[in-house]
A and B are shown apart, each in its own frame.
Chain A
Amino acid sequence: MNNYNVVGKRIPKLDAAQKAMGRAEYIQDIKLPEMLYGKILYSRYAHAKIIKIDVSKAKALPGVHAVLTGKDVPKKMVMGFYKDNPPIKKGKVCSFRDEVAAVAAKTPEIAKKALDLIKIEYEELEGVFDPEKAMEKDSPLVHEYHKSNVLKLPWKLHYGDVEKAQKEAAFVVEDRFSTTWVTHCCMGTSGAVALFDAYDNLTIYSNTQIPSLAQKDFLDALKAMGLENKRARVIKPVIGGAFGSKLDTYAYEHIAILLAHKCRKPVKITFDRSEEFKATSTRQPAIIYIKQGCDKSGKLLFRDIKMILDNGAHTSWGATTPSVMMMPITSLYRVENVRYSAKCVYTNNTYAQAMRGYGNPQATFAIESSMNMLAEKAGIDPIEFRRINRNQPGDITPQNFKITTCGLDLCLDAVEKELKKNDSKEQGVGIGVASLIHVGGGARIYKSDGCGAIIKMDDYGKVNVFTGGTDMGQGLDNITAQIVAEELGLLAEDINVVHTDTDVCPWDVGAHASRSTFVAGNAALGAAKKIKKKLLKFGSKILDAAAADLVLRDRLIFVPNDPEKSMPIDKLLRKTHFSPGGTMLMADYFYDPDNENLGKDFQGNMSLTYTFGVHGVKVKVDEETGKVEVLEYVAAHDVGQAINPLLLEGQVYGGVIMGLGYALTEEVVHKNGEIMNANFRDYKLFTAKDAVKIKAPVLETADKAGPFGAKGIGEPGCVPTAPAVANAIYDAVGVRIKDLPITPEKVLAALKEKK
């Protein structure tokens, strides 16, 4: 058992009191002197040519400082890795959320009025809203210059020999699954405040999860504006939820920058809720064709998956979800022969970004549903089927992922035990399980997977940790504080974690892939180790003891069992500082995990370790109405080591409830490219009354690579929820729903068809 003093403890979130008092400042609360308010005008059509824009009346409205249209955007200012997304569109619009103009005015009301005064003449074009239709020869082209609606992306892999394996398989199942648009619904809506100083250096306040990469994007934007060699400072306010929505930079940020530069005043753009639904990006929808096969004994022989992804009108990270979907496809369970291809297709719909799980939930829905179908065909119990094929420590998967710690078997045991406690075979009641694999030790998706930390320790034994990481409510502040406090013998409340300012904080690739605990944690730990070394050196001198004999704990430095050799740490620091040749305590560390980029064939150990989990659910299906009630839910995860069990539970519970919404009730309803439910009344995320009780056993396999053995947990909670529920429904009433969300209509329709 660990004898940790701070790590492993249920320490409340360090900024919770501020938030409980209403004192936390979110982007909505920021007010700067002379600040103007920006508002964006969106397209009135899914697909149309812009014939004429008349902004004269808007410009003339008193209180309006600037009006921008597509022609005011520098040619080289284009967003997204595919570079198909200028912040204000010119010439034509390809979706309802296309930005066509923007205004900066003295008050939000004047800005809104000005938008109403902008007259645009459109010529409507035929739109395409189905990605499979968009692939056909005679489909309208979303972007004429692109010559095809299919994006030029390399998502294709084949390991082993799938054809041969299929011939040898005793049992094969083949099916089509689909997931639709769901969205983040951060309670704090999007927004940014941009301002320039007298020398054209930019400061921008934004809810970004990628401060360093955002800084790069904004420097590129400045360059495109003809502002070379300038500084860009990104400051994060308190973030009202992110869940992946802020992993890219957005039009509203670029527009705020353009307006701020034009007006020579700070410009704030914040979204109202309707805009948040309509103009931010969703989870990537997917059409999944999957074939899996096993031998007579239940050993998986092959997995063959084709996907068609609705890319929408412009490209953000949704188009890269295949690179993460490969993870469960090649590495969830042991399967030697794997083939996968994904096509991303332009349509005139909205487009997708990163969202918690980043493609893993979609792929896992298909894989884990299909696994149950295969198990049934082979006549094997679904849990036993998973045991037969489970990953084990030491495995190297076809994608070359090196599985170090793996608690999949422990998770299966924990879930089976819980689910089979009251094994009453009541009518309409069923159980289902699904597993997950997710990166748990960073994720090298960029040239660097690193994070920097700088530690400054003052004369009072208080520590400031400047980290490149981002806290968006998930608790990176606590994790950092607990890791550093543990290493330095302090308490969590002695540590102040600063993550908010690129002028002060070191580089980090971003708060994604559940990597914060692992990478930012290791960065902080690395810096803390350096400080510890210095502390022990000072202590050894002042207490006249060997450094190896000294212990740091509870704010003291001491030799155990020697009451003479003990001193409060802060006293030690002052003695060391205020003496000839005095020194102060600072240390920095850049941790870039020794993982690998995916090669041309997509092989590479993307993460230093992988998080595993199993979810189990018991449902009751009302066979007359199709309504599915979740009776019990157990979510077991192998997390390495829980740095803070209280916050870890928060991540699991939050992830599961979000995942259940994704499975059962959430859908951004589109009709010919237009979003029909852009409000909380008709977008059905779970309310307090829908919440179910969740058991969250934590399996600790103490991964060597993680800080104090920890692996990531931010995303796993929402990855296998949908297939677990789908499998449970099948167990209950014998129907399998393959298209999310699993609504009462779909269940009832399937039940009627079965009859």
Chain B
Amino acid sequence: MTTKISFLLNGDKISYTVKDHWTLLHLLREKMGLIGTKEGCGNGECGACTVIVDKLAINSCLYLAVEADGKTIETIEGLASTDGTLHPIQQSFVDNGGIQCGFCTPGMIMSSKALLDENPKANLEEIKHALAGNICRCTGYIQIFESVEAAKEPVVENKGGQNE
């Protein structure tokens, strides 16, 4: 009951023989030692385990590892650049109070990234809708919204020329 899979993980090509009943969360945390992704409930009800698969945010606690075959997967460990610079979303969460205990943070950041990658100009309603599946008990969400808003690409205003 094992299957050989290969997939892209944070840009690296990975080959692994997984047991069919492993979840992606189990593969990441227990087998590959990537502890950044958290288990908050195990039932797809809290979002702490959110990773991005083929650009879509999913709950890795319900996603079977075998189905990762051929996919492109992003986890929190892959966000910062190789020189250590935080991804703008990570930096924004740091700067704007979006992180207290930090347990929901990896999932929250991955959900935010999936959103902004698809919809860089997402407004507050769209941010709330995208993060509705990520529970935070510490922040009350407000500084999380502020973090995501601040991480959006700045709107370049066309000042226009005015000849006196």
Contact = CB atoms under 8 A, between A and B. Distances in A.
B62 interface: no
B101 A688 contact: no
Given A15-B102, A21-B76, A187-B137, 19 more contacts: A12-B94, A16-B99, A20-B90, A20-B94, A22-B105, A240-B103, A242-B101, A243-B137, A273-B43, A473-B138, A647-B97, A650-B100, A657-B141, A681-B45, A685-B135, A687-B133, A688-B134, A688-B141, A689-B128
B102 A679 contact: no
Contacts of A4: none
A676 B106 CA distance: 30
Interface in A255-289: 272-273
B48 A187 contact: yes
A510 interface: no
Interface residues of B, number: 54
Interface string A486-503: 000000000000000000
B23 interface: no
Interface stretch (B1-9, B32-40, B65-73, B154-162): B32-40
- Most chain B beta carbons < 10 A, residue from A17, A26, A185: A17
A685 B137 contact: yes
A654 B138 contact: yes
Interface string B101-120: 11111100100000000000
A584 B105 CA distance: 40
A646 B94 CA distance: 11
A687 B135 contact: yes
A22 to B, nearest CB: 2
Nearest to A20: B90
A694 interface: yes
- Most chain B beta carbons < 10 A, residue from A238, A653, A656, A688: A688
Contacts of B100: 13, 241, 473-475, 650, 654
A679 B40 CA distance: 11
Interface in B56-107: 75-77, 79-80, 86, 90-91, 93-106
Contacts of A239: 101
Contact of A680 (B46, B98, B106, B131): B46
Contact of B86 (A21, A26, A687): A21
A24 B42 contact: no
Contacts of B42: 272-273
Nearest to B106: A22
Contacts of B37: 22
A655 interface: yes
Interface of B: 34-43, 45-46, 48, 75-77, 79-80, 86, 90-91, 93-106, 109, 127-129, 131-145
Nearest to B46: A680
A17 B80 CA distance: 10
A365 to B, nearest CB: 19
Contacts of B140: 650, 653-658, 686, 691, 694
A636 B76 CA distance: 36
Nearest to A659: B140
Nearest to A188: B103
A657 B144 CA distance: 13
A28 B61 CA distance: 15
Contact of B40 (A17, A184, A273): A273
Contacts of A694: 140, 142
Contacts, number: 176
Contacts of B77: 21-22
Nearest to A691: B141
- Most chain B beta carbons < 10 A, residue from A22, A189, A475, A650: A22
A272 B45 CA distance: 13
A650 B138 contact: yes
Contacts of B139: 650, 653-654
Contacts of A531: none
Interface in A673-706: 679-681, 685-689, 691, 693-694
- Most chain A beta carbons < 10 A, residue from B41, B94, B104, B140: B140
A242 B103 CA distance: 12
A649 B43 contact: no
A651 to B, nearest CB: 9
Given A20-B93, A22-B76, A693-B142, A28 B137 contact: no
A604 to B, nearest CB: 33
- Most chain A beta carbons < 10 A, residue from B40, B79, B132: B40
A680 B45 contact: yes
A19 interface: yes
Interface of A: 12-13, 15-26, 28-29, 184-189, 238-243, 272-273, 472-475, 646-647, 649-650, 653-658, 679-681, 685-689, 691, 693-694
A473 B137 CA distance: 11
Given A16-B102, A19-B105, A187-B101, A241 B41 contact: no
B99 A689 contact: no
Nearest to A687: B132
Contacts of B127: 688
A184 B137 CA distance: 8
27 contacts: A17-B94, A18-B102, A19-B102, A20-B86, A21-B36, A26-B103, A28-B38, A184-B137, A186-B103, A186-B137, A187-B46, A187-B135, A189-B40, A239-B101, A272-B42, A473-B100, A649-B97, A649-B142, A650-B97, A655-B140, A679-B45, A680-B135, A686-B141, A688-B127, A688-B132, A688-B134, A691-B141
Contacts of A646: 96-97, 143
Nearest to B108: A688
B131 to A, nearest CB: 4
B39 to A, nearest CB: 7
Nearest to B131: A688
A187 B143 contact: no
A649 B132 CA distance: 22
Q: What are the 6 closest A-B residue pairs judged by CB atoms, nearest first?
A: A22-B36, A473-B101, A19-B102, A657-B140, A240-B103, A653-B140
Contacts of A25: 35
Contact of B102 (A473, A650, A658, A686): A473
A21 B133 CA distance: 20
A90 to B, nearest CB: 31
B39 A12 contact: no
A475 B140 CA distance: 15
A273 B103 CA distance: 14
A310 B133 CA distance: 33
A685 B39 CA distance: 18
A464 to B, nearest CB: 22
Contacts of B98: 16
A246 to B, nearest CB: 12
A691 B45 CA distance: 17
Contacts of A691: 128, 140-142, 145
A64 B45 CA distance: 32
Nearest to A15: B102
A653 B137 contact: no
B144 A16 contact: no
Nearest to A189: B40
B59 to A, nearest CB: 12
Nearest to B35: A29
B41 A188 contact: no
Given A240-B101, A691-B128, A658 B137 contact: yes
A241 B101 contact: yes
Contacts of A657: 140-142
